[in-house]
Structure 1
């Protein structure tokens, strides 16, 4: 059977087991995508299941596309399951199908994060709320977080009692105006679908019978709402098959519930579990070190990855004297191997936070090593693309006031805030949209003329918006609105780049037309759900730098992990809260980073790291200590001739410029004792924490004894070696 060709025994078991709900615990590099695609092919080819009876949900459009391509390639036919897509695209399809029952128009809008923020700001302006007192981004974060955890998210926010009554009122008006705009934000796509199934028995019965198999990729990343959606769509005769790995759950900060993995057998009982623990990516030394680290987590199933690649380079550990030396060592290694014929695209440097990249970037530039940082601004988030997409949204949904307000003055038409407010008030009085209210607005100023021209242009464009190809209507829109002409007039490097991006958008539309034959509505749906970073070409000959979060799902022959120090990795936030769940997440991050390496893994730490105006002396990361010494090789560093306390208060190698060793040990031990006994505090991203060692330009070396105030107005009490105790306002150092 070709559906089983090339699979090991565990993979074959996962593919052929079809008689019960199934959790496939797929370790890093164990071939989970291969198992998913082979499973779907097996169901169709060997079990006789109709493609329309299978649903597969992924977390990215890229993963969905690749799955479809693999299935088509294996089956040798263009027939493939229609229901392969992300959670959001699946719900979008269903809501389009049942829009009447859901109380929606066929052309309802989807609000992305920028649209959400714009609507929140508008609501706050209407309520005369100062954004400095109540930051719109904080409101948006609370909304998104609550919508991940409950279908009645406003009740949850009230129950949690973390927001003021005024903030709750903003949330309520935000949701009301979403409905007024005939719009849903991303979370609403799922919530609306869940509520529809829960309240409409006919639709529930229909959907419960629609799919015989529901497959979920990256199950460890599902949140409460996503798991609830699966439960609601599953009928009595539906088999749920989830593939994931709790050891790679690194997104709890955006709602992922590792409990979904750990409680699958109970939630979808009766259920069975198959473990995939043969790794095809890394060598044995790398896996042994990674297994040693992750085995310290409690919230996991016991498993150890193994590989047939028993030979391989030992994991290296280099303890640099400072972060500059750390960067120099990495670029030395890259440069040496590059000169010997290894392409730069084989190397990747991973760090916990973006701020760590600068010194590495500087060193790479200094040595003429081309590099790129993966995880920048996405194509569809760029200013000019957002503008054009908003114009297209307005063409397809004239009720979208957020899109209207974004583009009404692009290019500038002399329409000021007062005119916009008058139009907004009139639209509310008439119970219509701002666009449709323009003819009823009285006046004869330049602003009114600009509004009239805008209205006539959109009226003309709307006549053929649903008939013309997306490229044709967009070209007309660029001409009628004068958007492209305004950019050409600027004649700057920036405007040229914006024009190139617009041309790229038109090429994207053209490709979409050729591949799908779809119109503007279908293209807009695809754009709204697009979550892929633009232009990710991992084969180009450049050194790669990225955060560990951005490395998920990638692999490189050579991996460098920097900053393995307490307070850096694991992050200070996990330490200051003394939160085992957060520490376990940090450990999972470390495991994910280590298992990106195919041939060689190098771990690095700096004995001294400069952050802002202070030099920090952090103990070595606990993750280094969790690896048995025989599993890694320490690269000698003659600059480190003394000892420094590790995170437990013991000693590790250190450099020779801090002579008061006993003070450091005492401070470190006191710090660790404090970390165990302190109560939870609000999250802080400040690197300045009690017990941290610092270097002041005037007072010299010292240890932080106490911190007071918020991060942006921090007061430090520091015990200096020579100057004694000083209280310092960080902003005035």
Structure 2
């Protein structure tokens, strides 16, 4: 159905610009749309695979006929002839059309075309005959030719390039079992290093299921994460220095230490990004750069270098240590104790390292030192999935592995057992644009899916609506919620999809560290102005706007006193604040009237006033975005997009509070959900797989992110190539369905499709 009644107006979808679709959709959710003929309630259906339409469950013949006859155009106030049809007044004869400035029509989704044809290939091309491998096959563990080559090449350095979905865990476990059962390698001489405890546990469980592998053999293996393996070495040789009760476990403990140092340096606790500073300190440390090695290039790094120095001094004084110290400490121990290094080089003869593309400097040097005796080092990874440079990972270690190990044998695992051909072919075309990569192309084992889909919502709101509608349709046809993942570049991009899912009946989970959008520092500060306008007696709202007004927090005590002495609210007290600066006091005297005016305008207008007239824009610029991938100005634009849906400040604040509560509730329920849609960042999705994946906002500035584009404009291509790898990782999470969203606008501005998808 293409028309509906909204109040006294008739809405014709053919005449509705795409920027109004979400508003009409919300009216349908509020039961404000009806059939112009029979009066039944309608809802606007906006999915991915077909143009929008009004959902009329049981239209009568009169309904269908009248809508077909109605004219899809906006009529001016000029008098025209009309006729009555089943109570629906329709224009008759010639009408005068008004030229309306609008965004344009709805853009239909399209499949990605041009992928090469699927070529079938046998799973197994046996070139290696081995009794044990045959026995494994009888137990359901089959290997292709490439996997066999990797599993049976035991001596010397080996680089296994394991593409997405190529079965690297199977290769690592079969290789370990093969060494123990066929080559009779003592399990105590094998070190198997993973990046997560979960991966180590999974490998042990798989090994126990293989023939000829006993629990005793598995327990003798030295396996685990880098931290767990090398921490055991530390506490064995220096137990007094590395007592568990001296470990700094939590980020809040680290922040407390550096904030104390920051006060002496003159850093504003509410303005300086201490979380980002700690990330920078960790990056330096894992790159084996210590305080005396740092050469800061700007004010941000100068501040971080100072905090790094003070943080290390505090730990030395208190004898405390953090997780980074476990690796750096073991590295220092082995470098300073040649006798210990020789002991461990004799002890360990075979090394297997998983996810080698994610290795950092200290991890690489540790493995390099220990394996230098036997040279039996097997590393497994995919340079196309190196996406963790922000925490010190460096893909150059896998790209240049041959330089340190000239005799290395390279095996490429290029058979993808996860994703359908159309998805694998699309991913290949994405990653092909990178220059710094090992030459390889993945190949799918099946083609039981449709091509990947591009869809073009107007903005973030419509993007979320279209995705939720598509999932609802698929669930109605038998899909499970856990079949779906919605991936995004940064947590801040999840606001609209979170809100749409929260309003649906679909179960979903979100990362535990994903704060509510409305609790982000910049957003919280803007909303505080609106809250104070509605609740002038609220001391928390008054306190929250002090920093944006460039006032110190101790001013709040003076304001509280003024509310009692002058019998006024917190808004009025701003005119009595004394700062000693005449220009600032003049602004504060004019502030009460401006704050009170906010409650009488629409939320979007109120935010404009806060940003420009009340100086919030200046605060965001002054605060800066040192070390932080997200810009405060981006948060403001996101908040404006959210505010457009609401007519009053009260409604908007109620919505924000509801979403903050929902975020906490969803996290609590996430612990119990086993069948739910997954909302997560692309980084967090690595190593996981889903039947259907939606990638949000595949546009310039999102992915690739603005920071990578800025670096590229300055001549540095490295961040841009990592962004392309990130897109590749997102695409290869899908097994059957892959959707890229390309909004026409993002954060209120015109958006352009990601250069990584330019082949479509």
Please indicate the TM-score interval, normalised by the length of the shorter structure. 0.5 to 0.7
The aligned counterpart of 1:88 is 227
Structure 2: runs of 5+ lacking an equivalent: 1-131, 516-664
Mapping of 1:698-709 within 5 angstroms? none
Q: Is the counterpart of residue 557 in structure 1 residue 691 in structure 2? A: yes
Partner of 2:279: 141
Match of 1:541 in 2: 675
Which residue is 2:334 aligned to? 197
Q: Deviations over 1:470-501 (max 9, x none)?
A: xxxxxxxxxxxxxxxxxxxxxxxxxxxxxx9x
Query: Does the C-alpha gap of structure 1 residues 538 and 223 become closer, same or farther in structure 2, counting only changes over 3 Å?
Result: farther
C-alpha distance in 2 between matches for 1:297 and 1:76: 44
Give the whole-Å Cα distance in 2 for the aligned partners of 1:590 and 1:309.
22
**Cα distance change on mapping 1:160 and 1:229 into 2, 3 Å:** farther
1:20 is aligned to 2:159: no
Counterpart-to-counterpart distance in 2, 1:306 and 1:586: 22
1:120 match: 258
1:104 Cα offset (Å)? 5.0
Tell whether 2:320 aligns with 1:183: yes
Matched, 1:233 2:370: yes
Structure 1 segment 502-541 matched on structure 2, within 5 A: 540-541=674-675
Q: CA deviation at 1:375?
A: 4.6
Structure 1 distance, partners of 2:267, 2:720, is: 38
Q: CA deviation at 1:50?
A: 1.3
CA distance in 1, matches of 2:292, 2:755: 40
Aligned 8 A contact 2:448 2:736 in 1 = no
Measure, in 1, the Cα distance between the counterparts of 2:347 and 2:184. Answer: 16
Distance 2:296 2:501 in 1: 51
Compared with structure 1, are the counterparts of its residues 543 and 156 closer, same or farther at alpha carbon in structure 2 (3 Å cutoff)?
A: same
Q: CA deviation at 1:159?
A: 6.7
Deviation of the 1:141 alpha carbon: 2.9
Alignment of 1:160-559 (within 5 A): 168-376=305-513, 540-559=674-693
Report how far residue 187 of structure 1 moved: 1.4
Match of 2:759 in 1: 626
CA distance in 2, matches of 1:133, 1:153: 26
Structure 2 CA distance for aligned equivalents of residues 114 and 232 of structure 1: 34
In structure 2, the CA distance between the partners of 1:546 and 1:141, relative to structure 1 (3 Å rule), is closer
2:163 touches 2:382 (CA, 8 Å); kept in 1?
A: yes
Alignment equivalent of 1:47, drawn from 148, 173, 183: 183
Shift of 1:143: 1.8
Distance in 2 separating the partners of 1:10 and 1:179: 50
Q: What is the CA–CA distance in structure 2 between the aligned matches of 1:142 and 1:282, rounded to whole Å?
A: 36
Q: 1:14 to 1:323 in 2, by over 3 A?
A: same
CA distance in 1, matches of 2:284, 2:680: 29
In structure 1, distance between residues paired with 2:445 and 2:303:
60
| Residues 434 and 724, structure 2, Cα contact 8 Å, conserved in 1 | yes
2: distance between equivalents of 1:536 and 1:46?
44
Distance 1:40 1:359, change over 3 A: same
Query: Whole-Å Cα distance in 2 between the matches of residues 354 and 49 of structure 1?
Result: 46
Equivalent position SS for 1:603: strand
User: Given that residues 281 and 304 in structure 2 are in contact (C-alpha distance below 8 angstroms), is that contact kept between their aligned partners in structure 1?
Assistant: no
- 1:339 CA displacement: 0.8
In the alignment, the residues of structure 1 paired with residue 680 and residue 276 of structure 2 have an alpha-carbon distance, to the nearest angstrom, of 26
Structure 1 pair 286/38, CA: closer, same or farther in 2 (3 Å)? same
Cα distance in structure 2, aligned partners of 1:212 and 1:535: 46
Q: C-alpha separation between the residues in 2 aligned to 1:351 and 1:592?
A: 12
Q: 1:135 to 1:286 in 2, by over 3 A?
A: closer
Shift of 1:547: 1.3
Q: 1:334 to 1:158 in 2, by over 3 A?
A: same
* Contact 1:30–1:279 (Cα < 8 Å) also in 2: yes
CA RMSD of aligned residues (A): 2.7
1:591 offset after TM fit, Å? 0.6
Change (3 A) 1:185 1:6: same
- The answer to whether 1:153 aligns with 2:290 is yes
1:202 Cα shift? 0.9
More displaced 10-residue stretch of structure 1: 58-67 or 618-627: 618-627
Give the distance between the partners of 2:184 and 2:502, measured in 1 at CA. 58
- CA spacing shift, 1:266–1:364, aligned 2, 3 Å: same
Question: Do the aligned partners of residues 220 and 165 (structure 1) sit closer, same or farther apart at CA in structure 2, a change above 3 Å counting?
Answer: closer
Deviation of 1:551 after TM superposition, in Å, equals 0.9
Q: How many residue pairs get matched?
A: 469
Distance in 2 of aligned mates of 1:256 and 1:549:
13
State whether residues 3 and 41 of structure 1, in contact with CA within 8 Å, keep that contact through their aligned partners in structure 2: no
Shift of residue 365, structure 1, vs aligned partner: 3.0
Give, in angstroms, the shift of residue 174 of structure 1: 2.0
Q: CA deviation at 1:310?
A: 3.1
Residue 705 of structure 2 is matched in structure 1 by 571
Once the two structures are superposed, residues 661-685 of structure 1 have per-residue CA deviations (whole angstroms, 9 ceiling, x without a partner) of: xxxxxxxxxxxxxxxxxxxxxxxxx
Structure-2 separation of matches of 1:580 and 1:112: 35
Structure 1 residue 56 corresponds to structure 2 residue 192: yes
Q: Which has the larger radius of gyration?
A: 2
- 2:684 & 2:668 partners in 1: Cα distance? 13
Residues 451-480 of structure 1, C-alpha deviation per residue, up to 9 Å, x if partnerless?
Answer: xxxxxxxxxxxxxxxxxxxxxxxxxxxxxx
Change (3 A) 1:129 1:595: closer
TM normalised by structure 2 equals: 0.58
Distance in 2 between residues matched to 1:554 and 1:545, nearest whole Å: 13
* Residues 163/212 of structure 1: CA separation in 2 closer, same or farther (3 Å cut): same
- Structure 1 unaligned residues grouped into runs of 5+: 379-499, 501-532, 628-733
- How much has 1:277 moved relative to structure 2? 0.4
Aligned-partner Cα distance in 2 for 1:133–1:363:
32
CA shift at 1:126, angstroms?
6.5
1:322 Cα deviation after fit? 2.5
Q: Tell me, yes or no, if the aligned pair for 2:162 and 2:382 is still in contact at 8 Å.
A: yes
Give the alignment's TM-score, normalised by structure 1.
0.60
What is the distance in 1 between the residues matched to 2:754 and 2:280? Answer: 32
Q: CA deviation at 1:164?
A: 7.2
**Residue deviations 1:159-188, cap 9 Å, x none?**
767667776454333212212322221111
